[in-house]
Chains A and B, each alone.
Chain A
Amino acid sequence: MTASTTLDSVDSESHDQAAGQGPLTKDGIPLKRSLARALRREKLRALLLIAPLLAFVLVSFIFPIGDMLYRSVENSIVEKTIPGTVRALNDWDSESGELPSERVFAALADDMMLAQEIKIHTRLGSRINYDQPGISSVFRKSGRQIKKLEREAAMNAFIGLNADWNTPEAWATLTASEQWPAQFRYTAISLDNWKAWLASEEGDDADPAALVPHGFTYATLYHDLSNMSASDLSALATSSDAPVAALFAGVPDALASFPSDDFKGQFAAIEKGWTEIDNWQAIKRLSPPIIDSYFLAAVDSERTDVGVEKKPENERLYLGLFLRTIFLSMVITTSCILLGYPIAYLLATLSVRSSNLILILVLLPFWTSLLVRTSAWKVLLQQQGVINDLLVWVGFISEAGRLVMINNMTGTIIAMTHILLPFMILPLYSVMKTISPTYMRAAKSMGASDTLAFWRIYFPNTVAGIGAGSILVFILSIGYYITPELVGGTKGVFISNRIAYHISSSLNWGLAAALGSILLVLVLALYWTYDRIVGIDNVKLG
């Protein structure tokens, strides 16, 4: 009875299923599921096939672009190189008109000691120099002198109070106390600095647990203690932790009479740049790990202590270059359309034999080195060049009136139009090729003139090709750099020339990244506009 009921229910269930899922395949699996499985397999196979390309694009394109975008705001170098100084500067009011306190200078001495040991102080100097010209030599010169700084005053005062301060055990006691590191934040940084310095100076053999730190750390300890509230101080001296209490006994009373290491005076003697408030303001301004200063510089602005301001007129460079780049790229794209359209038309309408010849002529420059083509234009266009010679010989211009066609915008436009022309002709040609000649014949048979038939029938059919060619040419030209550099003189160079300068010459990669990011956003914005106006679906490459 039970068995038969079960059987029944199973039967009805499978029946229901079959009814819900439609037909079954031969081996009893519902067709839908089988189909889905087959499709999934298909997709997986397709994914596997494109996997190498995907990985390649990811590694060589997406990742570098991400890295570039990040570099344009990344600025951890200041915090990493002078961590104590950056923290100590938080308490300094940059508008007070006064130099930072002795505590900041003590932190600077401490940070610089390690930085020059591992040779990163000059790198920081070059970084800040981008925003504060002149500071790189301040860092370079200070690095050489830093070892000579007198730094024993605070140390000797501690030892004078309690000789135990000259033992590694004192530091073990301090770092094991409950107030460490919360109340000794700068000392903690300093101790880490010292350990890193020791490892670099002495190699791995040196054991920091068996040594006392250098004077800078004692000076920092003094400053940490001086900045504590009276109650915190006395809590240390009367700590229930007996060794801690022993170390700090007498310290609260003696602190006020501690001699100063006078790092401020010592730094001033090394390099007067440390006494200039602008330099300190720049360091403080540039201390955040993420920063907009590169982007501001890329749009000819800077952050001063009163906020974001336009740079002085004689330093505004980039906005003009961006505008010029876009303007010239548009001119180049337009001239490519004007010159390429008739050629593409010829290619599409002539007999295969003659069109092949033209196609070879179009492609031939493609196979020639870019530099050779650009240099050839120099020979042609220069004032003592072929074209001018010819014009003088024919008598169109006088010897004195030779035309200036290179080392200016004209040169850039001519050379770039020539170089990018194939990118316009080829998409145009492949679109024109698909337009049936019967359209034109039909239009004419209905009484349209040649011009009318062309504008109403033929031209609208080629818009997709113009769109594709224009996008190709425009995007290529907006990022071009070698041709403008060689034939552009001063008025025909692009923003990419400055990006190249900052990458390879000034090493200001952050600014180069910011300029590049802006260029990327500009291109995307123009692409989006194009999509809204013309529609990207209308773009046809063939």
Chain B
Amino acid sequence: MKFTAGLAGVFALSTVAMVATAAEELPACEDCADELTIVSWGGAYSNSQLQAYHNPYSEITGVEIVNDESSAEAVAKLRAMNEANNVTWDVVDVVAADAMRLCDEGLAMEINADEQLAAAPDGTPASEDFGDLLVSDCFIPQIVYSTTMGYRTDVEAWNGAVPTDICAVFDTATFPGKRSLEKRPINNVEWALLCDGVAKEDVYDVLSTDEGVTQALAKLDTIRDDVIWWSAGAETPQLLADSEALMGSTYNGRLFSVIVEQEQPVAMLWDAQVFDLDGWIIPTGLDEARTNRALHYIKFATDTQRLADQSKYISYGPARASSAPLVGKHAELGIDMAPHMPTDPKNAMNTFLYNYEWWADNRDDLDAKFQTWLAQ
């Protein structure tokens, strides 16, 4: 991976310092399992968790952490495990919408933030520190990420025009060329309505009507021949790097690595970025020792310092308010990470809030309509 031996050295130094402080705070775990299976997304994201959470935790407690990179199929697999009565995972990293579904299905246990999580260093209880981001009773958020647009900065056909707002996606006259969008309705229909004159606060009310769905799809219809639909987060960065698409949506961390780490001629269009959350759940059906261990780990991994540490390795914003001031420099590149966070005030001038409840209700229905529209 990108993380070299030099980095490991730097990291070892910082861990020693960190372990010293954390060990004092971390109470011993009573009646706990000695092994922990943690499921996450793999790649750079898992690596950031390994550096910021797993390694320090293993060093303090001596617990062996097994990594499983199955988060993409976590909901289905957890359901299957639950039906087979054999849950082999202890802690699972999922996006908020999946956490809600797991909670709905009774596959994730409820976690009381104030009782089971660490308070902020100044004593603010966890529920206040996370605030509105605790979107489900079963879900402890780690990071705020956003789905946003990137565009190439070297397109001659644009004659010097630079996309400044999300509606550039729908403006094929000024910005001709392919754009890549995710092959699902979420985010796309919201952007379509925003660019079709619907006010931000009315988007979900409009989408709740049949006419609203038709309106959103009609707007998307105006660019359908210019869209490449992606289904994996890595596709847009690749398409942008190849000039196969000239602008496209993806997760902000992926664009960060295209722009900063790979130095491609690509820029971020933060306008109308859609915030989403990623975090932990603990499956139901674990025995007591494993549940205790999982809770012990989560208490450690979601404290203020640990969340801030993760942002050294990846450009996602920590979910605790108290972590924000602690965000420092990229562990390898040495650049300030704060300006690359989706939550940075400059980037977050116009953001769109994803409505979890609405999508939980309407996702299947709208997906059927969206896929039918795609197939036409």
Residues of chain B contacted by A501 (CB below 8 angstroms): 367
Contact B361 A137 (CB under 8 A): yes
Evaluate contact between A314 and B214: CB separation under 8 angstroms.
yes
Instruction: Output the nearest chain B residue to A502 by Cβ-Cβ distance.
Output: B364
Chain B contributes a number of interface residues (CB within 8 A of A) equal to 36
Set of chain B residues within 8 Å of A504, measured between Cβ atoms: 72-73, 75-76
Distance in angstroms from A278 CB to nearest chain B CB is 13
Identify which of B4-12, B48-56, B100-108, B267-275 touches chain A.
Answer: B100-108
A-chain residues with CB within 8 Å of residue B101 when the two chains form the complex: 126, 507
User: Do the beta carbons of A507 and B368 come within 8 Å of each other?
Assistant: no
CB of B364 within 8 A of CB of A508, answer: yes
Are the C-beta atoms of A133 and B361 separated by less than 8 Å? yes
Chain B residues in 8 Å Cβ range of A485: 231
B242 within 8 Å of A (CB atoms): yes
**CB within 8 Å of B: which of A97-137?**
118-120, 122-123, 125-126, 129-130, 133-137
Contacts of B321-376 to chain A: CB distance below 8 A? 357, 360-365, 367-369, 371-375
Is B103 in contact with A384, judged by CB distance below 8 angstroms? no
**Does A448 touch B at the CB level, under 8 Å?**
no
In the complex, B79 has a CB within 8 A of chain A:
yes
Q: Check B259 for interface membership: any CB of A closer than 8 A.
A: no
Tell me the minimal C-beta distance from B353 to chain A in angstroms: 17
**A382 contacts B by Cβ under 8 Å:** yes
Q: Which of A43-51, A315-323, A524-532 contacts B (4 or more CB under 8 A)?
A: A315-323
Chain A residues near B361: list those with CB within 8 A. Answer: 129, 133-137
B106 in contact with A382 (CB, 8 Å): no
Contact A123–B360 (Cβ < 8 Å):
no
In whole angstroms, what is the CA distance A129 to B368 when docked?
13
Q: With an 8 A cutoff between CB atoms, is B244 at the interface?
A: yes
Q: Which of B229-274 contact A (CB under 8 A)?
A: 229, 231, 242-244
* Minimal beta-carbon separation of B73 from chain A (angstroms): 5
Q: Are A321 and B244 within 8 A (Cβ)?
A: no
Q: Which residue of A129, A489, A508 contacts B229 across the interface (Cβ within 8 Å)? A: A489
CA distance A71 to B41 in the complex (A): 30
| Residue A355, interface by CB 8 Å | no
Q: Which residues of the partner chain A approach B360 to less than 8 Å between Cβ atoms?
A: 136-137, 140
Given contacts A133-B362, A314-B372, A489-B229, contact A122 B183 (CB under 8 A): no
- Write the nearest CB–CB distance from A282 to chain B, whole angstroms: 13
Q: Kindly report which residue of chain A lies nearest to residue B77, judged by CB atoms.
A: A504
A119 touches B106 (CB 8 A): yes
Residues B87-107 near A (CB distance < 8 A): 101, 103-106
Smallest CB gap from B74: residue in A? A504
Does A321 contact B375, Cβ atoms closer than 8 Å? yes
A382 touches B373 (CB 8 A): no
A407 within 8 A of B: yes
A418 contacts the other chain (CB 8 A) = no
**Which of A123, A129, A383, A490 has most B Cβ within 10 Å?**
A490
Asked if A284 is at the interface of the complex by the 8 Å CB criterion, the answer is: no
**A314 engages B369 (CB within 8 Å):** yes
Instruction: Please report the C-alpha to C-alpha distance between residue A384 and residue B245 in the assembled complex, in whole angstroms.
Output: 9
Taking the complex as formed, is B228 at the interface, i.e. its CB lies under 8 A from any CB of chain A? yes
**Contact among A122, A316, A505 with B105 in the assembled complex (CB-CB below 8 Å):** A122
If A119-B106, A317-B375 touch, whether A137 touches B364 (CB-CB below 8 Å) is no
> Which residues of B (179-235) have their CB < 8 Å from a CB of A?
183, 213-214, 217, 228-229, 231
Enumerate B262-298 residues with CB–CB distance to A below 8 Å: none
Q: Does A195 contact B (CB under 8 A)?
A: no
Q: Which of B79, B243, B362 contacts A507 (CB 8 A)?
A: B79
Q: Is the interface of B mostly helix, strand, loop or mixed?
A: helix
Q: Are A384 and B105 in contact (CB under 8 A)?
A: no
Q: A407–B228 contact, CB under 8 A?
A: yes
CA distance A491 to B375 in the complex (A): 6
With CB as the reference atom, state the residue of chain B lying closest to A135.
Answer: B361
Task: List chain B residues, Cβ under 8 A from A506.
Answer: 363-364, 367
Q: Which residues of A contact B79 (CB under 8 A)?
A: 507
A88 part of interface (Cβ distance < 8 Å): no
B106: A residues at CB distance < 8 A: 118-120, 122-123
Residue of A nearest to B73 (CB): A504
User: Cβ of A151 < 8 Å from any Cβ of B?
Assistant: no
Give chain A residues whose Cβ lies under 8 Å from the Cβ of B103: 122
CA distance A489 to B367 in the complex (A): 16
Docked-complex contact A490 and B362, CB < 8 angstroms: no
Q: Give A42 Cβ to nearest chain B Cβ, in Å.
A: 39
Contact of B242 among A315, A317, A384, A486 (CB under 8 A): A384
CA distance A385 to B239 in the complex (A): 11
Query: Quick check: is A503 within 8 A (CB to CB) of the other chain?
Result: yes
**Which residue of chain B lies nearest to A144 when distances are taken between CB atoms in the complex?**
B137
Say yes or no: is A498 at the interface (Cβ < 8 Å to chain B).
yes
* Inter-chain contacts of B372 with A (CB < 8 A): 314-317
Q: Give the complex CA separation of A470 and B180 in angstroms.
A: 36
Q: Which residues of A lie under 8 Å from residue B374 when comparing CB positions? A: 490
* Contacting residues, chain A, for B357 (C-beta < 8 A): 137, 140
- Given the known A-B contacts A317-B371, A498-B371, are A123 and B105 also in contact in the complex, defined by CB atoms under 8 Å? yes
Tell me the complex Cα distance, A407–B367, Å. Answer: 20
Q: How far is the CA of A504 from the CA of B101 in the complex (A)?
A: 12
1/0 per position for B116-152, CB-CB distance to A under 8 A?
A: 0000000000000000000000000000000000000
Bound together, the chains give a CA A536 to CA B101 distance in angstroms of: 47
Please state if A140 and B104 are interface contacts (CB–CB under 8 Å). yes
Minimum CB distance partner of B375 in chain A: A320
Q: Is the CB of A133 within 8 A of B228?
A: no
Contacts of A320 in B (CB 8 A): 375
Chain A residue at minimal CB-CB distance from B368 = A315
Q: How far is the CA of A363 from the CA of B84 in the complex (A)?
A: 39
Contact A489–B228 (Cβ < 8 Å):
yes
Chain B residues positioned under 8 Å from A118 (CB to CB): 106
Residue of B nearest to A407 (CB): B228
Closest residue on chain B to residue A316 by CB atoms: B372
- Digitize B56-77: 1 where CB-to-A-CB distance is under 8 Å, 0 elsewhere: 0000000000000000110110
A491 contact set on B, CB distance < 8 A: 375
Residue of B nearest to A506 (CB): B364
Judging by beta carbons under 8 Å apart, are A384 and B375 in contact?
Answer: no
A454-503 interface (Cβ within 8 A of B):
485-486, 489-491, 498, 501, 503
> CA of A315 to CA of B213 in the docked complex: distance in angstroms?
12
Q: How far is the CB of A70 from chain B (nearest CB, A)?
A: 13
**CA–CA, A122 and B362, complex, Å:** 15
For this complex, 12 residue pairs linking A to B, each with C-beta atoms less than 8 Å apart, are: A122-B103, A122-B105, A133-B364, A140-B357, A314-B217, A317-B368, A383-B178, A383-B244, A384-B243, A407-B229, A485-B231, A508-B364
- Known contacts A385-B244, A504-B75, A507-B75; can you find 6 more A-B pairs with CB under 8 A? A126-B104, A314-B213, A317-B371, A490-B229, A490-B374, A506-B363
Q: Which 9 A-B pairs have the closest CB atoms?
A: A122-B104, A133-B365, A119-B106, A490-B374, A504-B76, A317-B372, A134-B361, A137-B361, A123-B105
